[in-house]
């Protein structure tokens, strides 16, 4: 509840951008796109509303940056996946996915389901990129080097399964992590051995 004794202060453009963006990430993560006004972001950032447009352009442009932040995931542990046989590698990639999703749950899950506005072309493209990244991670984990478009599409489908299953766990709270892990592992094993081969 800082009443913000608003002495006007100058910041470096990068610092100001970052400050506004962090507030926007928090607000858009809590509520949806339509429920957050640029006035809200400006007020909580202690800044004039016009400054948001100055730095980010349109409200939708700001939202796009927010989505990219929320969907950006440290692809670190990808290299440290074990070298065992297929079931072991599948177990590892599923565990990695569940770790990432549960850690960023309130933002990642919200963003990947277009928390506020699907149907928009640019938003869809940003989400699609995140799905691509996850699909690539799955494919490399299970050891596919030559990726045909068909195979890639099937991996994207699997990411859809992983997302909806994770939501049953994290948002609706009816599945346990173990159940989710088991479902996703067995399903991926089936898809790799029986379906991906035809791609």
Q: Is 143 left (phi over 0), alpha (psi -120 to 50) or beta?
A: left
Out of DNA, a second copy, none, which partner does residue 106 contact, by CB within 5 to 8 A per kind?
none
Out of DNA, a second copy, none, which partner does residue 43 contact, by CB within 5 to 8 A per kind?
none
Out of a second copy, DNA, none, which partner does residue 114 contact, by CB within 5 to 8 A per kind?
a second copy
Kindly state the smallest distance separating residue 128's Cβ from DNA, in Å: 23
User: In the complex with a second copy, which residue's Cβ is closer, 21 or 135?
Assistant: 135
User: In the complex with DNA, which residue's Cβ is closer, 94 or 116?
Assistant: 116
Tokens encoding 108 = 């990642």
User: In the complex with a second copy, which residue's Cβ is closer, 19 or 40?
Assistant: 40
Q: What is the 3-state secondary structure (H, E, C) of 77-107?
A: HHCCCCCCCHHHHHHHHHHHHHHHHHHCHHH
The C-alpha atoms of residue 52 and residue 41 are separated, in whole angstroms, by 8
User: In the complex with a second copy, which residue's Cβ is closer, 26 or 167?
Assistant: 167
- In the chain, what is the greatest distance between 2 CA atoms, to the nearest angstrom? 66
Give the three-class secondary structure for 116.
coil
Interface contacts to DNA, rule CB under 7 A: 6, 8-13, 16, 36-39, 46-51, 53-54, 57-60
Kindly state the smallest distance separating residue 49's Cβ from a second copy, in Å: 19
- Cβ pair 194, 142 in contact under 8 A: no
The C-alpha atoms of residue 66 and residue 82 are separated, in whole angstroms, by 33
Interface contacts to a second copy, rule CB under 8 A: 31-35, 110, 113-120, 149-150, 152-154, 156-161, 163-165, 167-168, 172, 174-175, 179, 182-183, 186-187, 190-191, 194-195, 198
């Amino acid at each position: 509840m800082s009443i913000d004794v608003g002495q006007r202060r100058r910041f470096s453009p990068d610092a100001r951008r970052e400050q506004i963006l962090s507030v926007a990430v928090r607000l858009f993560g809590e509520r949806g796109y339509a429920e957050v006004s640029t006035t809200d972001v400006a007020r909580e950032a202690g800044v004039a509303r016009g400054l948001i447009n100055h730095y980010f352009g349109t409200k939708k442009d700001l939202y796009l940056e927010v989505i990219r932040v929320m969907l950006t995931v440290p692809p670190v542990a990808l290299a440290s996946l074990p070298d065992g046989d297929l079931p072991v590698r599948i177990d590892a990639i599923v565990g990695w996915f569940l770790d990432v999703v549960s850690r960023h749950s309130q933002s990642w899950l919200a963003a990947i389901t277009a928390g506020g506005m699907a149907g928009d072309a640019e938003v869809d493209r940003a989400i699609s990129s995140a799905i691509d990244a996850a699909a690539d991670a799955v494919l490399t984990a299970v050891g596919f080097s030559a990726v045909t478009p068909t195979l890639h599409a099937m991996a994207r489908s699997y990411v859809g399964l992983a997302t909806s299953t994770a939501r049953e766990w994290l948002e609706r709270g009816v599945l346990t992590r173990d159940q989710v892990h088991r479902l996703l592992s067995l399903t991926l094993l089936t898809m790799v051995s029986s379906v991906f081969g035809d791609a």
